[in-house]
Chains A and B, each alone.
Chain A
Amino acid sequence: MRAGFILAVLFVAASYTFVAFRDLSYLSSAGRLGPGFFPRIIGASLVALCLYSLYADRKREHAGDAASPYARTAVVVGLLSALFVALLDVLGGLLSMIAFMAAALAFLNPGRRLQNGLLAVLLPLAIYLMFRVWLNAAVPRGMLPLPF
């Protein structure tokens, strides 16, 4: 898995380097160092180091490479937070927060319905009031014609 991660970084780094060499000039029209100077150094170094890491790590086993028994929990929390971000534009900030909290607490804190219910409503409400009313900051409005 570690090699997969480094390969993914290598792929992005190679694309970055390709663009740096193809689209960005090393010298500007005035003869000074141009917009491609720094990205070329960074990209080439990144590619070289990723390749070297893949080579150096090929036979090494790392302590952290064995999957954790709690990996499923991390995946579910990750999926729920992705769903939360996706819902922001649809349901708006407040309703998405309530939906996310209800789902997350049902998964992480099962069986405590009253505690979960109260937290799922009161906490989002407090955060909404803090950002929208106290700080006058932007909170997603969503597509539904709701007053909040």
Chain B
Amino acid sequence: MDIFANLLLGLSVAVSPINLAYLLVGVVVGMIVGIIPGFGPSAALAILLPVTFGMEPTGAVIMLAAIYYGAQYGGTITSILLNTPGESSSVASTFDGYPLAQQGRAGPALVMQAVASFVGGTLGVILITVLAPLFSQVTRSFGPPEFFLLVVMGLLTLIVMVGCNWRYGVISALIGFALGTVGVDLETGQTRFTFQSAELISGIDFIPIAIGLFGLGELYFAFYKGLHLSGSGGIVQYQKERRFWPQGRDFVETRFTLMRGSLLGFGIGVIPGAGATVASLMSYSLEKAVSRTPEKFGKGAMAGLVGPEAANNAASSGAMVPLLTLGIPGSASTAVLLAAFILWGLTPGPLLMAQKPEFAWGLIASMYLGNVALLALNIFAIPLFVLMIKLPYRLLAPAVILICTIGTYSVNGSIIETWLMFAAGLFGFFMKLYGFSPAALVLALVLGPLAEQSLRQTLTISRGSFAIFLERPTSLWILGITALMLAAGILLRRPR
């Protein structure tokens, strides 16, 4: 009964006119962000974070979260119509989405991806509703060793599952940790790496780094790859009146796929570091493995589109569980969300749901409404978003640079931070160019202070012995899951 009472409380917060307005803005912006290739939700969240400063905290976080999960919906439209994923988690949707469109089934593919996204997203939120309070209970017993291992697990999983080269991934994470040590050491009060600069005493702010790496860095890389010259010429036309709706057999054939994709995606999403991209690729492999007609995969199998779509949306919901209950983000996007929480004075962790129920449950309830709004948008506003696909990148990019720069300046009114953002942009470009992981850097920057504090506390408790990680049952569980994820990641990356 507690869950229902809390959900009702959350709904009362989410349906206030101002929060509903923020939610709608968030889902529309998320859709647009998902559609634009080379511009992911992490960049959008980082860039728009300063824009939320004038808002009330719950509304701001509702809007940012809606951008985050809305982007999962939008990314598939370009996958189906243009064979270009709007973002990495929609890559698997190109495998069968584009062949379906080429066969004249773009309309059914678009509707089925919307339905799959809705089922995955909504099932994910239902699971959050049920599991997040349980997680909160369990994680209250976590001590410094468990928190340190969770940070390590998140980073290692991210590096092994998504990164191109483990060495470059670890280097990226270590750079993030190093940046996180700049400023005052909270335990001793001693300054570190400040070089007598007053600006550095409070540490390196996360926002300029995130905006630079994900906003400017991605944009320079897109120019380097010639994205500004690629038009929407290859876009597949779809018929709005005739053959737009899926047939009954599409739903019947994919009913179990929807469930499998959603459950797998949620499970992967809960594990810090794994994320929506891994979930969608694993779901595709799973569907192909269990299908009676695996030869149809890659040639326009509806299950090959529906599974990954349900999985990536469920994963984005699942990723909210460690964020809300542990304060540990599993991806760059959720790291920016964590930064937003902290900026608003909200500390995600085991006590958040008990201490700030109106915020936590307001956010969860808004995700139900957001998924409904996204379903409607995805089916009835497709022509509008197809127009967005046609917006030339060469016009869009300068506007993004303006918002990145003015947005960074507006946070603290600091020109030094604006230069820092520019430097991070250049660094992010080279990281992308040479296969390093900006996401690991940002995640490590956000989690660095927690990692350092929990490791120091752990070694103080154990009097310097690392054996403590093997002596506590919960730590052993986390180590076991980490080993499993690493093994799965290595197996997934083996060339076939």
Interface residues, chain A, CB within 8 Å of chain B?
1-2, 5-6, 9, 13, 16, 19, 23-24, 28-29, 32-35, 37-39, 42-43, 45-46, 49-50, 52-53, 56, 62, 64, 68-71, 73-74, 77-78, 81-82, 84-85, 88-89, 93, 97, 100-101, 104-105, 108-109, 119, 123-124, 127-128, 130-131, 134-140
- Which chain B positions have C-beta within 8 A of A35? 185, 187-188, 190, 192
Please give 20 more A-B residue pairs, beta carbons under 8 A apart, in addition to A33-B459, A97-B406: A32-B456, A33-B460, A35-B188, A35-B192, A37-B456, A50-B171, A53-B168, A62-B434, A62-B435, A64-B433, A70-B229, A73-B226, A77-B220, A81-B216, A85-B422, A100-B398, A100-B402, A108-B394, A119-B395, A139-B410
Please tell me if B54 contacts chain A, counting CB pairs below 8 Å. yes
- Which chain B positions have C-beta within 8 A of A49? 167, 170-171, 174
Q: Are the CB atoms of B228 and A73 closer together than 8 Å? A: yes
The answer for the CA separation of A108 and B460 in the assembled complex, in Å, is 58
Please tell me if B403 contacts chain A, counting CB pairs below 8 Å. yes
Question: Chain A's nearest CB lies how many Å from the CB of B243?
Answer: 36
Please tell me if B177 contacts chain A, counting CB pairs below 8 Å. yes
Q: Are the CB atoms of A38 and B455 closer together than 8 Å? A: yes
Closest to B229 in A: A70
Q: Are the CB atoms of A43 and B178 closer together than 8 Å? A: yes
- As a 0/1 sequence over residues 400 to 434 of chain B, the CB contacts with chain A under 8 angstroms (1 = contact) are 01110111011011010011001001100110011
Please tell me if B267 contacts chain A, counting CB pairs below 8 Å. no
Question: Chain B's nearest CB lies how many Å from the CB of A53?
Answer: 5
Q: Are the CB atoms of B415 and A89 closer together than 8 Å? A: yes
Please tell me if B256 contacts chain A, counting CB pairs below 8 Å. no
- As a 0/1 sequence over residues 169 to 212 of chain B, the CB contacts with chain A under 8 angstroms (1 = contact) are 01100110110010001011010110000000000000000000
- As a 0/1 sequence over residues 143 to 184 of chain B, the CB contacts with chain A under 8 angstroms (1 = contact) are 000000000000000000000000110110011011001000
- Which chain A positions have C-beta within 8 A of B171? 6, 9, 46, 49-50, 53
Q: Are the CB atoms of B193 and A135 closer together than 8 Å? A: no
Question: Chain B's nearest CB lies how many Å from the CB of A32?
Answer: 6
Q: Which 7 A-B pairs have the closest CB atoms?
A: A138-B413, A137-B410, A35-B185, A104-B398, A74-B224, A108-B394, A135-B54
